[in-house]
């Protein structure tokens, strides 16, 4: 029936062995992913769509394109890796896994962007961010992990590498919200998510396993991106992001829900929006929980693009600052138009991205991590507004 | 495929031509490197692929005209492309040359409540048109499964169908006028904003479904309807797909003309459920999705009547969607049937035969027998109300001669459909995929006329060569 003289896609033939063949053959090119893709929406260009990128991956795998083809290099780097395409894909294509395999190959040897190389190396120096976290006042590690018990410590809090230095108040807030329920073991390194997304998935796997040994049992994370990576390596049952943990735990122990007041200013409830974390939403499927928690303490406002990548995308904002800004602009416009008091984030790189963007626009909207917002509602200052 | 191998440019696309193209649309909108053109070498049709020599992305009708004039002068094949979601390999550039992508021309130019029409540029998506219409309380009725992706001009070029065909018809019933560019560069405006207009041959209809072989559509004027006050959807489960087919025949014979009558067999139900998690009955042999729209009491009566007919014909369960969200979820699930089937095997080969409605159950049984005879796994879903079936053979190409068996099975499916008074394609088009059966469907005289029409529009034979009328 076909007049195609070349071997059709999917036909067994000499391949380069870069991709898992089953993952690569899952896509049928229906294009349902196109409207979900932030880079396709920006460009309306097939090359910059998930379907187009998979066509490129196949051409690479099957030897129809040179390994160093500039379009391969460019598109592997231009992709945000947000995995929004996965949630709308009826065929169940695991695009995130394919992208990791693609970047492993594309960014091999001399092809790694120098900045990514530097970050990959830097994030492996655990003592540096251990000291940094201490100086900045992140939650203080307390030695060996405590044994987990149903009525005692339920999870080990992961401090994150960048997060403990950039936003030390987040881990402190978690301890305020969950006194006696989580502990903070010492010696925590980086989970390797950054490496997985930057062409170093071998190291990324080892780092997640090492962190898994340092934090045995359930790991509580305040970083959606790290949670997504850890779940992929260690298994979903080992990982809880803060919002899902809080609702699970408070659901089991209603008597331990701390008094949370409604946050208000000038006699009206605070208006608070949310920016989803892509890997929390698209990887772990956590969407309702952070919204429910925000709504408990403030007037929740759904931003139209809340579920779409803000452009931080791990190290993307550092590697491709201009593209990152183009993606971010839509979000900033919506935040400014929504008359918000705060935007809540559930991932530190999103926090950095939105803080920077809103500062540049001199916006009066402030960015808070979900843990910070809830801790704010915890404080007994009933007499005064926030 | 062209004679040119990867990396080489045929004589017709020499540096001079590329310079002219770059001068016309800007250098960044002319793609020529292997990697840049590779993503445009296929559409949503499996097993077809051919790399173009260049991809050009114009932003105005004038640019399209200039590109086509140049292509005719130099004899360069041009294959127009929207979002590349078509299922007949109609946008695969089998002869190389230029793929002309119209996605940059994506404005919704006008929605007129007073005139009940909308005007859009070629590359606007179907969903963008429908949303713009809905914002003014109006309905763009054609509803192809790929609506969030597909472009309006692509829908027109392929005469796309969809989930509302029974009551509302298909794309051709809504196209009032077109702006289209002939391969020789002239810009035509066919039809217009009028419901009544019989001046001349109906070129609007001729271009609708012409699969990019006669002219490049750059702007579309479509008819809109008032948005129905309410919609409702229900689901009935049967032991066999043919039972669902008989229920459809009964519903229509009873004088109902509902908006939606869709069915899925057991394999489809399970594939869709794996993705959508709607709580569908995985044990059922068939699912019939029925729906209607209109005034709330009319919809309620219509749904009751259809539910009753299904029950009388032995449905093992009938449920009605409780609200709009549930209704939308069911329709969305039906739209994703094809890609969901891709979960079963690497290759998903889909067909589009259509038979007269009373023959639906017979055709379903025939497909079953044919699949069994050729030892292939076939899942069937489709627009039952239109007699339009999508038998889909899933296979792993590593599995011996399965591809040959699949092709033999489909050959038999096509011939059976035609024997029952049906056609080889209801809504996906002929493209390259169904070309081998076109003569059997049309006969030599019609095929010869198609060729003469093609020559009248495209004397140099540059537009989508090798497809319809070539």
The reported pLDDT for the residue numbered A382 is 45
Does any CB of chain A come closer than 8 Å to the CB of residue B26?
no
A67 class by beta-carbon count within 10 Å (0-12 exposed, 13-18 middle, 19+ buried)? middle
Lowest mean pLDDT among A333-337, B225-229, B357-361, B419-423: B357-361
Cβ-count burial B243-259 (b if 16+ within 10 Å, e if not)? bbbbbbbebbeeebebb
Judge whether B59 is closer than 8 Å to chain A, CB to CB.
Answer: no
Amino acid A380: pLDDT: 56
Task: Inform me whether the C-beta atom of residue A142 falls under 8 Å from chain B C-beta atoms.
Answer: no
B115 in a domain, yes or no? yes
Q: What does the pLDDT look like over B161-178, one tens digit per residue? A: 988 999 999 999 999 999
Domain boundary among B58, B81, B102: B102
Rounded to 5 degrees, what are φ and ψ at B74? Answer: -100, 0
Contact B454, B470 (CB under 8 A): yes
pLDDT at B4 over 50: no
Could you tell me which of B330, B233, B237 has the C-alpha nearest to residue B287?
Answer: B237
What is the CATH classification number for the domain harbouring B29? Answer: 3.30.43.10
Please say if the pLDDT value at position A145 is more than 60.
Answer: yes
pLDDT digits (tens, 9 = 90+) for A303-362: 999 999 999 998 999 999 999 999 999 999 999 999 999 999 999 999 999 999 999 999
B200 domain-assigned: yes
pLDDT tens string A118-140: 888 888 888 888 899 989 999 99
How far does A124 lie from chain B, in Å, by closest CA? 35
Residue B454 lies in a domain: no
In chain B, residues with a C-beta closer than 8 Å to the C-beta of A53 are: 39
Same domain, B252 and B182: no
pLDDT tens track for B85-102: 999 999 999 999 999 999
The verdict on residue B458 lying in a domain is no
Residues B175 and B255 in one domain: no
Q: For the domain that residue B136 is a member of, what is the CATH number? A: 3.30.465.10
Domain boundary residue, one of B185, B203, B226:
B226
Inside any domain, residue B452: no
Specify if B9 maps to a domain. Answer: no
Other Cβ atoms within 10 Å of A214 Cβ, number: 18
How large is the ipTM?
A: 0.92
Element (H, E) at B34: helix B34-37
Looking at the DSSP assignment, which residues form a beta bridge with residue B56? B30, B100
Q: Does B112 share its domain with B222? A: yes
Tell me what pLDDT residue B11 has: 54
* CATH number for the domain that contains residue B387: 3.30.70.2740
| Same-domain check for residues B237 and B222 | no
Which residues of chain A are within 8 Å of residue B274 when distances are taken between CB atoms? Answer: 92
- Measured between CB atoms, which of B94, B274, B410 is closest to A3? B94
Query: Is B187 found in the same domain as B81?
Result: no
Stretch B297-312: mean pLDDT: 95
Mean pLDDT of B280-293: 95
Q: Which of B191, B226, B261 is the last residue of a domain?
A: B226
Kindly report, residue by residue over B386-440, the tens digit of the pLDDT.
999 999 999 998 888 999 999 999 999 999 999 999 999 999 999 999 999 999 9
Q: What is the model's pTM? A: 0.92
Flag whether residue A384 sits within 8 Å of chain B, measured between CB atoms: no
Containing structural domain, residue B62: 15-102
The predicted pLDDT at position A6 comes to 45
Interface membership of B351 toward A (CB under 8 Å): no
Instruction: Pick from A7, A12, A32, A60 the residue to mutate for testing the B interface (most B CBs within 10 Å).
Output: A32
Alpha helices in B390-443 (DSSP H): 402-419, 438-442
For B41, nearest residue in chain A (alpha carbons): A55
Is the Cβ of A68 closer than 8 Å to some Cβ of chain B? no
Question: Is B119 found in the same domain as B220?
Answer: yes
The reply to whether B221 falls in a domain is yes
Q: Which of residues 169-228 of B touch A (CB under 8 A)?
A: none
User: Total structural domains in chain B?
Assistant: 4
C-alpha count within 13 angstroms, C-beta hemisphere, residue B375: 7
Tell me, yes or no, whether B1 lies in a domain.
no
- B363 and B379: one domain? yes
Q: Does A254 lie at the interface with B, CB-CB under 8 angstroms?
A: no
Percent of chain B at pLDDT > 70 equals 97
B173 & B98 share domain: no
Are the beta carbons of A297 and A386 closer than 8 angstroms? no
Residue B158's nearest CA partner among B64, B110, B96, B91 is B91
Same structural domain, B199 and B126: yes
- Reported as a single tens digit per residue, the pLDDT across A252-286 is 999 999 999 999 999 999 999 999 999 999 999 99
Q: Give which of A1, A36, A41, A102 to mutate to test B binding, by max B Cβ within 10 Å.
A: A1
Mean predicted lDDT score pLDDT of chain A: 92
- Same domain for B346 and B408? yes
Q: Where are the beta strands (DSSP E) in chain A?
A: 155-157, 182-183, 219-221, 239-241, 264-265, 268-269, 271-275, 299-301, 342-345, 366-369
Is residue B6 over pLDDT 70? no
Q: The CATH number of the domain where B254 resides is what?
A: 3.30.70.2190
Residues B256 and B219 in one domain: no
Indicate whether B115 and B192 sit together in one domain: yes
Burial category of A374 from C-beta neighbours within 10 Å (exposed 0-12, middle 13-18, buried 19 and up): buried
Average pLDDT over residues A73-84: 96
For the stretch B7-55, pLDDT in tens is 444 556 899 999 999 999 999 999 999 999 999 999 999 999 999 999 9
């Amino acid at each position: 029936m076909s007049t195609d003289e070349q071997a059709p896609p999917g036909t067994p033939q000499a391949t380069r062995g870069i991709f898992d063949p089953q993952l690569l053959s899952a896509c049928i090119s229906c294009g349902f992913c196109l409207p979900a893709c932030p880079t396709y929406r920006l460009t309306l260009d097939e090359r910059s769509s998930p379907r187009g990128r998979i066509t490129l991956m196949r051409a690479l795998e099957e030897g129809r394109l040179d390994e160093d083809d500039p379009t391969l290099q460019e598109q592997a780097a231009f992709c945000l890796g947000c995995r929004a395409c996965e949630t709308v894909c009826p065929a169940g294509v695991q695009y995130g896994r394919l992208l990791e395999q693609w970047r492993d190959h594309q960014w091999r040897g001399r092809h790694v962007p120098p900045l990514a190389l530097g970050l990959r190396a830097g994030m492996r120096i655990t003592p540096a961010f251990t000291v940094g976290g201490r100086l900045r006042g992140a939650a203080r590690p307390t030695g060996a992990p405590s044994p987990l018990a149903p009525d005692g410590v339920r999870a080990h809090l992961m401090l994150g590498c960048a997060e403990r230095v950039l936003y030390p108040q987040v881990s402190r807030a978690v301890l305020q919200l969950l006194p006696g329920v989580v502990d903070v073991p010492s010696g925590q390194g980086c989970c390797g998510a950054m490496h997985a997304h930057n062409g170093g998935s071998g190291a990324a796997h080892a780092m997640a396993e090492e962190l898994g040994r340092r934090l045995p049992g359930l790991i509580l994370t305040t970083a959606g991106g790290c949670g997504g990576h850890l779940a992929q390596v260690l298994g979903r049952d080992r990982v809880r992001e803060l919002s899902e943990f809080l609702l699970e735990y408070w659901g089991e122990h209603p008597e331990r829900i701390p008094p949370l007041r409604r946050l208000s200013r000038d006699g009206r409830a605070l208006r608070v929006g949310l920016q989803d974390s892509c890997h929390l939403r698209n990887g772990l499927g956590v969407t309702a929980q952070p919204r429910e928690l925000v709504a408990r303490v403030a007037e929740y406002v759904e931003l139209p693009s809340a579920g779409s990548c803000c452009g931080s995308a791990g190290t993307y904002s550092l590697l491709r600052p201009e593209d990152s800004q183009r993606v971010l602009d839509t979000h900033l416009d919506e935040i400014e138009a929504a008359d918000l008091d705060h935007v809540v984030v559930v991932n530190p790189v999103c926090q950095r991205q939105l803080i920077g963007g809103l500062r540049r626009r001199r916006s009066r909207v402030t960015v808070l991590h979900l843990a910070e917002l809830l801790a704010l509602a915890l404080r007994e200052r009933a007499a005064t507004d926030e | 495929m062209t004679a040119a191998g990867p990396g080489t440019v045929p004589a017709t696309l020499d540096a001079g031509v590329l310079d002219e193209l770059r001068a016309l649309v800007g250098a960044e909108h002319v793609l020529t490197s292997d990697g840049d053109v590779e993503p445009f070498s296929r559409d949503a049709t499996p097993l077809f692929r051919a790399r173009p020599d260049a991809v050009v992305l114009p932003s105005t009708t004038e640019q399209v005209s200039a590109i086509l004039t140049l292509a005719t002068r130099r004899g360069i094949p041009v294959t127009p492309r929207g979002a590349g979601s078509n299922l007949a390999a109609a946008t695969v550039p089998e002869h190389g040359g230029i793929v002309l992508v119209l996605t940059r021309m994506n404005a919704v130019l006008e929605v007129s409540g007073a005139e009940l029409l909308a005007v859009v540029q070629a590359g606007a998506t179907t969903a963008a048109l429908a949303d713009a219409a809905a914002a003014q309380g109006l309905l763009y009725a054609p509803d192809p499964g790929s609506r969030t992706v597909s472009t309006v001009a692509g829908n027109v070029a392929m005469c796309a169908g969809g989930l509302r065909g029974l009551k509302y018809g298909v794309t051709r019933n809504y196209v009032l006028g077109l702006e289209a560019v002939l391969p020789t560069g002239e810009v035509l405006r066919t039809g217009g904003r009028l419901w009544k207009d019989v001046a001349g041959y109906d070129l609007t209809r001729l271009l609708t479904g012409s699969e990019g072989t006669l002219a490049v559509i750059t702007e579309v004027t479509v008819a809109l309807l008032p948005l129905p006050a309410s919609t409702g959807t229900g689901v009935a489960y049967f032991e066999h797909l043919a039972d669902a087919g008989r229920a459809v025949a009964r519903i229509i014979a009873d004088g109902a003309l509902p908006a939606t009558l869709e069915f899925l067999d057991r394999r489809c139900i399970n594939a869709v459920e794996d993705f959508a998690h709607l709580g569908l009955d995985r044990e059922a042999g068939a699912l019939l999705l029925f729906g209607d729209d209109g005034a709330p009491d009319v919809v309620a009566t219509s749904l009751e009547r259809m539910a009753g007919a299904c029950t009388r014909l032995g449905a093992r369960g009938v449920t009605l969607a409780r609200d709009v969200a549930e209704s939308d979820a069911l329709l969305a699930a039906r739209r994703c049937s094809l890609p969901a089937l891709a979960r079963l095997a690497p290759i998903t080969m889909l067909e589009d035969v259509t038979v007269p409605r009373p023959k639906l159950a017979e055709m379903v049984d025939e497909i079953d027998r044919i699949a069994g005879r050729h030892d292939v796994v076939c899942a069937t879903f489709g627009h039952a109300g239109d007699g339009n079936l999508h038998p889909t053979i899933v296979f792993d190409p590593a599995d011996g001669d399965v591809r040959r068996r699949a092709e033999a099975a489909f050959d038999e499916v096509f011939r059976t459909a035609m024997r029952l008074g049906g056609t080889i394609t209801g809504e996906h088009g002929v493209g390259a995929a169904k070309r081998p059966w076109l003569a059997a469907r049309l006969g030599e005289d019609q095929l010869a006329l198609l060729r003469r029409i093609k020559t009248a529009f495209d004397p140099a034979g540059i537009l989508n060569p090798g497809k319809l009328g070539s």
